[in-house]
Chain A
Amino acid sequence: MEYFFLLLFTGLAAVLVGAGLLTSYLVAPHRPNPLKNSPYECGEPTIGQSWVQFNVGYYLFGLLFLVFDVEAAFLYPWAVVFRQVGLTGLIEMGLFLLVLIVGLVYAWRKGALEWV
Chain B
Amino acid sequence: MTLLDLVALLPLIILTAAATGIVLLMAVCRCHRTTALFSMAGLGLAVISLPFANSMAPNRAVTPLLMLDTYSFFYMGVMFVSSFVIAALAYAYFEKQDGRREEFYVLLLTATLGAAFLSASSHFVSLFMGLETLSISLYAMVAYTRDRRDSVEAAFKYLVLAAASAAFMVFGMALVYAEAGTMEFAKIAAARGALEQGNHLVLLAGCAMMVVGIGFKLALVPFHLWTPDVYEGAPAPVTAFVATVSKGGMFALLLRYFVLIDVHQYPSLMFLFTAIAVLSMFFGNLLALLQDNIKRILAYSSIANLGYVMIAFLASGHMAVPAGALYIAAYFITTLGAMGVISVMSTKERDADSFADYRGLFWRAPWIAAVFTAMLLSLAGIPLTAGFIGKFYVLAAGEESSRWIGIAALVVSSSIGLYYYLRIVLTMCESAEDEAPVSRPSWTEATVLTGLAAALLFVGVYPGPLIHAAETLVASIL
Q: Do A and B come from one complex?
A: yes
A60 adjacent to chain B (CB < 8 Å): no
- Complex contact B20–A102 (CB within 8 A): yes
A103 adjacent to chain B (CB < 8 Å): yes
- Complex contact B1–A102 (CB within 8 A): no
B23 adjacent to chain A (CB < 8 Å): yes
Q: How far is the CB of B306 from chain A (nearest CB, A)?
A: 34
Q: How far is the CB of B238 from chain A (nearest CB, A)?
A: 22
Closest residue of chain A to B26, judged by CB? A106
- Tell me what chain B mostly uses at the interface: helix, strand, loop, or mixed: helix
| Size of the chain B interface, CB-CB below 8 angstroms | 7
- Complex contact B24–A105 (CB within 8 A): yes
| Size of the chain A interface, CB-CB below 8 angstroms | 10
- Complex contact A106–B27 (CB within 8 A): yes
A83 adjacent to chain B (CB < 8 Å): no
- Complex contact A88–B23 (CB within 8 A): no
Q: Which residues of B contact A98 (CB under 8 A)?
A: 20
- Complex contact B1–A103 (CB within 8 A): no
Q: Which residues of B contact A108 (CB under 8 A)?
A: 27
B residues 285-322 in Cβ contact with A at 8 Å: none
Task: Give complex CA distance A97, B425 in Å.
Answer: 54
- Complex contact B20–A105 (CB within 8 A): no
Q: How far is the CB of A87 from chain B (nearest CB, A)?
A: 11
A31 adjacent to chain B (CB < 8 Å): no
- Complex contact A105–B1 (CB within 8 A): no
A99 adjacent to chain B (CB < 8 Å): yes
Q: Which residues of A contact B23 (CB under 8 A)?
A: 102-103, 105-106
Task: Give complex CA distance A102, B24 in Å.
Answer: 6
Given contacts A88-B1, A106-B24, A110-B27, 15 further A-B pairs with CB under 8 A are A98-B20, A99-B20, A102-B20, A102-B23, A102-B24, A105-B23, A105-B24, A105-B27, A106-B23, A106-B26, A108-B27, A109-B26, A109-B27, A109-B28, A110-B26
Enumerate the 7 nearest inter-chain pairs by beta-carbon distance, A residue then B residue, closest first. A109-B27, A106-B27, A106-B23, A105-B27, A102-B23, A102-B24, A102-B20
* 6 A-B contact pairs sorted by A residue (CB < 8 Å): A102-B23, A105-B23, A105-B24, A109-B26, A109-B27, A110-B26
